[in-house]
Amino acid sequence: MALFVGANDVVNPAARTNVSSPIFGMPILNVADAKSIIVLKRGKGAGFSGVENDLFVAPKTSILFGDASQSLIQLGAEVKAT
């Protein structure tokens, strides 16, 4: 499982897979390799590059919108409760 906060472009698989993308060739984190992914974001906006992130629409990705610090507190409470 991968949990990440905010950063759009540094986890966008298009940097490896889409040769026509302006971020192609940029080093990224291997978040897309995780079995399950949780993204914490404030909104649906694109990253600094303006490129949509394919990771956000992947079937194994869940997005939790809101303030990341509060979302992490909520997630921690849920994990402790199970």
* Residues with catalytic function: 9
Tokens of 56: 């956000």
Rounded to 5 degrees, φ, ψ at 81 are -75, -15
Per this entry, what is the length of the chain?
A: 82
From 53, 43, 61, select the one nearest 8 (Cα to Cα): 53
